[in-house]
Structure 1
Amino acid sequence: MKTILNGNDLIENGYIPGKILGLALSLVENKFEELNKEQLIALLQEVKAKPEQFMDHEILEELATAIIEEASAPADETISLSKQAIAYRIYGGDQIENSPRMQMDIAMRLPISVAGALMPDAHHGYGLPIGGVLATRNAIIPYGVGVDIGCRMALSVFDISESHFHEHEAQFKKELIAHTRFGAGRGFIGRYRADHEVLERDEFNLTPMIKNLHDKAYDQLGSSGGGNHFVEWGIIEFEKDDVVLNISRGKYVALLTHSGSRGLGATIAGHYTKLAKDLCKLPKEAANLAYLDMNSEAGQEYWLAMNLAGDYASACHEVIHKRLTKAIGAEVLARVENHHNFAWKEIWNGEEVIVHRKGATPAGKGVMGIIPGSMTAPGFLVRGKGETAAINSASHGAGRLMSRTKAIQNISKKRMSDSLREHGVTLIGAGLDEAPMAYKDINLVMDAQKELVDVVARFSPKIVRMADDGSRED
């Protein structure tokens, strides 16, 4: 039987008329039919009281995020921003809209900011724009790292020829489906669960909140989230021998993965973002850039928790690659991995700073990285040039051209299917919000960052798996 819930029910239980109340009603409509009215109200009260605990919930994540976002600072405790933003470089500016520029301008007015840069795939994000790089002095910004802490790319190149792949595509597809899990809240159960030394890390005992995430981390180890996360088979081409990787010129089968720290990272991000906002009162326009002093207990806690989430994300990729490597009986010729949505201690202009790369790839001199396009566009294996003005960074992908909502409204299933057929790509899962045309032209993005990276090889997707419903998580 359908549970009828109205605004007055929530107002009587602590909700205030406005955007949050409306969102709560819309999200739960027809979604919790197993709960009676009292149970549903109790659930929404819990989300309001402890939103950070619902950052990994398949339905209520959006409401939890909105509640955290609405937190505002009392005017009399507000930390002032500088009147003038510190100058910063913008790469591929003709492809970047005003919104991420405005967000970066605000970030460069923080009293802790030292330097910044905007990558050519930049688009709007919470606090720091996606594609934003920010160096700060002795402070870390949870939303400068992002919700999906340690989200990363991982590439394995195999001793398998292109012709062998095309002769056995059905087998590659079968193994891809058998050994991957996708979507909000999804993971493995029973004997299908993986094990990894990261689960034994002392940081899981750092706080009761993090300790309580251990079981979820165990269940989700080796799985992928929703949204733009993927696992895909493809063909990588090296146009010349690469001495560093010890790979000869030619084409090889490769496995490329993109995902992050799942529910573990999302919950850590929500918890410490709320804590930062409680401790660091900034003007409303900068509220999502609330930071933690690295000398404080909260700052050190977040730093340890962030690194745990980053290593957990890496472990997830390791599990996926090991399982699929074993399934196809191949030898790995080279493996490259890099993360974004993270913060690093680095030396910049002779000073130790905290470098936040929110949707940006580390590109120090000689550092390897992977920059994907879309499910039909090529990705690129790159080597960083160590450009100081970019704070040793590059883009983390093509970047969105359309918001998820706009993509769903403007892209038809036929148009998406035609594009997949044209490029010879088999797609498993994904929604219209991840359609190729929702992204910028990766070739233009790469042209805009020639001074940041050298291209080592080009990856062409062939069999792509994403969340079945295009759901968002992390």
Structure 2
Amino acid sequence: MAFQMIEGVRIWGDPDAGAVSQAITCSQHGNVVQTLLMADHHKGYSQPIGGVVAYSGQISPSGVGYDIGCGNKAVRTNLLASDVMPHIGSIMDRIASTIAFGVGRGNRYMVDHELFDDPDWNVYMQVAGQKGHNDLKQLARQQLGTVGSGNHYVDLFVEPATDRLWIGNHFGSRGFGHKTASGFLNLAAGREFFAKAPGEHMDQPPVLLNLDDEVGELYYRAMKLAGRYAYAGRDVVIDEVLRLIGAEADFAVHNHHNFAWKEKHAGQDTIVVRKGATPSAPGQLGFIGGSMGDISVIVRGKDSVENVESFYSTVHGAGRVMSRTQAAGKMNWKTRTRSGGAITREQMRQAITDYGVELRGADTDESPFVYRKLQTVLDAHRETLDVLHVLRPIGVCMAGADEFDPYKD
């Protein structure tokens, strides 16, 4: 098998000491069936990124994290990349000026969606009252179809084998999901839903809710609603980019990687909490993004013994090897300047120019230098997935440099 065991945790790839310690802590709390680390693992808040914990009868809002339903969507278009490349600069300008990037940003126009008639909005009437329900729903309406900051993006790709143009994006449930997570973490601690919570510690044990308790059942419903919201947002953005470039899609892949699923594993019913990990059941498709200077891939889960032992989970990206502060330096929020970063903007610009990427936004904390090579982590999971399409970025659009990112995952 390609994985190793450390204190009962199944680990793919090279073990990161901090993430392994967090995974061991997770394994020691609650009704844990199995704890795993994918090859792109690194430290997160409470549950590591790339971490998977299967519980019996329990769910962890700290494990799912603040960006509930964060995930990827990719579509193959009817256009050839070679026809697009002469106009890539103006296309990326249109994407950057049309799609809303950045923390707290609302859409330039209100997007109506059947999601807002979903009966699970009633959860917020119970936990946050009429005003809280109305405020959260209004925030969700304003931000549907916006991308946010951090490592969230809209990319154009070429599939070198076919010259077909692909569009991909990566983001989650925005401020609505963040407030949902914060609210239920408050409730779990005996505070009011909108109370000001104390700061989390990176290595704190997971917060657990029993699914047969009222708060656990309400969280599960709210999490699923936030997941549907994240899917709707990614759909809206992809459709807008298709419109901007005059393209149609003939194939799509769409998946979460910050979520909890009811699944059967090891002969029992489980709740599988994946934070920065992609579901990979046999035949299931996934879109896994690399850095802006690396490949991304469309994968399919294998019907293999090792995939069973991975609890049908795989990587969600290449995985960070350098923290944001280490890469970009410490931020002075009064002057909005950074100092002491290991990567310069000149180094970043040269790297993406050499790779042939037209970049809009982003800072050195998202440069290729801060991530593993995607092929390295894919190789660690070769017995659990097949790579169907290899994509190379030609246009990358992210929030601008020096954006504060409150979404901890």
- Give the TM-score of the pair, scaled to structure 2: 0.87
Residue by residue over 1:208-246, the C-alpha shift from the partner in whole angstroms, topping out at 9 and shown as x without a partner, is 234420111111010011100000111124x5xxxxxxx
Counterparts of 2:97 and 2:253 in 1: how far apart (Å)? 24
For the pair 1:155 / 2:67, whether they are aligned, the reply is: no
- Give 1:232's match in structure 2, choosing from 155, 167, 170: 155
Cα deviation, residue 376, structure 1: 1.1
Give the secondary-structure state (helix, strand or coil) at the position aligned to 2:106.
coil
Task: In structure 1, give the amino acid aligned to 2:180.
Answer: I
Per-residue CA distance 1:397-446 (angstroms, 9 max, x = gap)? 00111011001110011110110110011111111111110111212111
SS state at 2:79 partner: coil
After superposition, the Cα gap between the structure-2 partners of 1:308 and 1:273, relative to the gap in structure 1 and judged at 3 Å, is: same
The question of 1:254 aligning with 2:169 is answered no
Q: Is the aligned partner of 1:394 residue 2:314? A: yes
Question: 2:214 is matched by which residue type in structure 1?
Answer: E
The alpha carbon displacement at 1:378 in A equals 0.7
State whether structure 2 residue 352 is matched by structure 1 residue 420: yes
SS in 2 for 1:159: strand
Q: Deviations over 1:311-363 (max 9, x none)?
A: 00111111111112122221211011011110000000221100000000000
- Counterpart for residue 130 of structure 1: 49
1:267 maps to which of 174, 179, 195: 179
Structure with more relative contact order (C-alpha pairs < 8 Å, separation 6 or more): 2
Task: Go from structure 1 to structure 2 and tell me whether the alpha carbon gap of 1:144 and 1:135 turns closer, same or farther (over 3 Å shift).
Answer: same
State the SS of the aligned residue for 1:468.
coil
**Pairing partner for 2:9 from 80, 88, 92:** 88
Higher relative strand content: 2
- 8 Å contact from structure 2 (residues 155, 168) kept in 1: yes
Q: Distance in 2 between matches of 1:381 and 1:202?
A: 34
> Separation in 1 of the partners of 2:353 and 2:245?
25
Give the alignment of 1:302-451 within 5 angstroms. 302-386=219-303, 387-408=307-328, 409-451=341-383
**Contact conserved, 2:156 with 2:167, CA < 8 A, in 1?**
yes
Asked if structure 2 preserves the Cα contact closer than 8 Å seen for 1:210 and 1:268, the reply is no
Deviations 1:272-292 (A, max 9, x none): 12222449xxxx997440200
Instruction: Give the deviation of 1:294 after TM superposition.
Output: 0.2
Contact residue 40 and residue 50 of structure 2 kept, 8 A: yes
Contact 1:112 1:138 in 2 (8 A): yes
CA distance in 1, matches of 2:187, 2:24: 24
Q: Distance in 2 between matches of 1:269 and 1:421?
A: 39
Q: Equivalent of 1:199, from 116, 123, 129?
A: 116
SS at 2:37 equivalent: strand
Deviates more, 1:445-454 or 1:131-140: 445-454
CA offset digits 1:99-121 (Å, max 9, x no partner): 00001111111231001210011
1:48-71 Cα distance to aligned partner (Å, 9 max, x none): xxxxxxxxxxxxxxxxxxxxxxxx
- Alignment pair present for 1:468 and 2:391: no
**Contact 2:45/2:203 (CA < 8 Å) preserved in 1?**
no
1:218 has 2:141 as partner: yes
Distance 2:355 2:111 in 1: 34
Correspondence list, 1:166-205, <5 A: 166-189=85-108, 192-205=109-122
Q: Give me the whole-angstrom Cα distance separating, in 2, the residues matched to 1:462 and 1:120.
A: 26
CA distance in 1, matches of 2:208, 2:248: 45
More helix per residue: 1
Greater CA drift, 166-175 or 216-225:
166-175
Alignment of 1:23-42 (within 5 A): none
Would you say 1:452 and 2:366 are equivalent positions? no
Moved more, 318-327 or 198-207: 198-207
Describe the shift of the 1:326–1:286 C-alpha distance in structure 2 as closer, same or farther (beyond 3 A).
closer
Give the SS at the match of 1:391: coil
Letter in 1 for 2:385: V
Report which of the two structures shows the higher radius of gyration computed on alpha carbons: 1
Unaligned runs of 5+ in 1: 1-84, 240-249
The alignment partner of 1:364 has SS state of: coil
Say which SS state the counterpart of residue 213 (structure 1) adopts.
helix
Q: Which moved more, 1:298-307 or 1:435-444?
A: 435-444
CA separation in 1, counterparts of 2:97 and 2:203?
A: 45
RMSD: 1.7
Identity between Structure 1 and Structure 2 (%): 37
Partners of 1:126 and 1:288 within 8 A in 2: no
Q: Structure 1: which amino acid aligns with 2:143?
A: Q
Distance in structure 1 (CA, Å) of the matches to 2:362 and 2:248: 29
Distance, in Å, in 2 between the alignment partners of 1:268 and 1:446 is: 33
Deviations 1:114-171 (A, max 9, x none): 0121001100011110000010010101011011000010001001112111133234
Shift, 1:205, TM fit: 2.6
Look up the SS of the partner of 1:173 in the other structure: helix
Q: What SS class does the counterpart of residue 212 from structure 1 fall into? A: helix
Using the TM superposition, give the Cα deviation of residue 86 of structure 1 relative to its aligned residue in structure 2, in angstroms: 6.5
Letter of the 1:435 counterpart = S
Q: What displacement does 1:177 show?
A: 2.0
CA distance in 2, matches of 1:415, 1:210: 46
1:5 is matched with which residue? none
